[in-house]
């Protein structure tokens, strides 16, 4: 898979119950199978999917994901409860589905999970190194460290100015 397809996979990874997961209908689309066929394969092999590999979403989690427009409305799901697969669960899916496409998609998904993990670790490593440097050097560098921390923060959204804003700064003239 190319970078565009990896980015497509990355957008389908969500944080649920503190874990990065992919939902059954997204995985079914990537694997090129129907969602019901994917779920059926999982149910036939439930012993391969312990709770830390796969879980069904609760009603509250479904409502939360619908409100974030991550998943379609409950009606579009056909009333079925979506399954969420962790990284290990996705890896196990390739052994259950057993197609060459499943293997290729699984490789791409694993690479995406690894890339996300590396990005998180690199940011955490940078913060740790900055804290160590700050402890090592005295107060004269405090301004530098504060500036670096400020640069690490995401930018604030632009604020809308309040009041009247004329389109041009021409002086008012008296037309008599």
Chain segment 112-129, per-residue pLDDT in tens? 777 777 776 667 667 777
Q: What is the value of pTM for the model shown?
A: 0.58
Do 126 and 116 fall into the same domain?
A: no
Q: What's residue 156's pLDDT?
A: 66
Q: What's residue 75's pLDDT?
A: 64
Do 8 and 76 fall into the same domain?
A: yes
**Residue 128: which domain range?**
122-152
For residue 167, being part of any structural domain is answered with: no
Do 110 and 148 fall into the same domain?
A: no
CA atoms of 143 and 61, how far apart (whole Å): 43
Do 98 and 37 fall into the same domain?
A: yes
Do 69 and 15 fall into the same domain?
A: yes
Do 38 and 97 fall into the same domain?
A: yes
CA atoms of 83 and 14, how far apart (whole Å): 12
Residues 6+ apart with CB under 8 A from 149: 130
Do 43 and 82 fall into the same domain?
A: yes
Do 59 and 110 fall into the same domain?
A: yes
Do 89 and 142 fall into the same domain?
A: no
What are the two backbone dihedrals, phi and then psi, of residue 23, each rounded to the nearest 5 degrees? -90, 155
Residues 6+ apart with CB under 8 A from 56: 81, 82, 83, 84
pLDDT tens string 49-105: 999 999 999 988 888 888 777 666 666 666 788 899 998 888 888 778 766 676 677
Largest distance between two CA atoms of the chain: 91
| Residue reference for tokens 């390739």 | 94
Q: What does the mean pLDDT of the chain come to?
A: 76
Q: What's residue 72's pLDDT?
A: 67
27 in Cβ contact with 17 (< 8 Å): no
């Amino acid at each position: 898979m190319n970078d565009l397809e990896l980015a497509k996979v990355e957008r389908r990874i969500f944080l649920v119950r503190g874990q990065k997961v992919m939902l059954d209908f997204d995985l079914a689309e990537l694997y090129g199978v129907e969602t019901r066929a994917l779920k059926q394969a999982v149910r036939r092999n439930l012993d391969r999917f312990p709770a830390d590999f796969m879980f069904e979403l609760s009603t509250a989690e479904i409502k939360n994901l619908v409100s974030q427009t991550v998943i379609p409305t409950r009606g579009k799901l056909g009333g079925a409860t979506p399954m969420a697969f962790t990284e290990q669960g996705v890896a196990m899916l390739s052994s259950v589905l057993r197609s060459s496409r499943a293997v290729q998609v699984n490789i791409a998904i694993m690479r995406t999970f690894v890339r996300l993990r590396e990005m998180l670790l690199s940011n955490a490593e940078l913060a740790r190194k900055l804290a160590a440097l700050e402890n090592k050097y005295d107060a004269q560098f405090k301004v530098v460290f504060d500036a670096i921390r400020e640069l690490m923060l995401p930018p604030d959204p632009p604020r809308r100015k309040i009041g009247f804003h004329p389109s041009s700064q021409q002086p008012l003239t008296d037309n008599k």
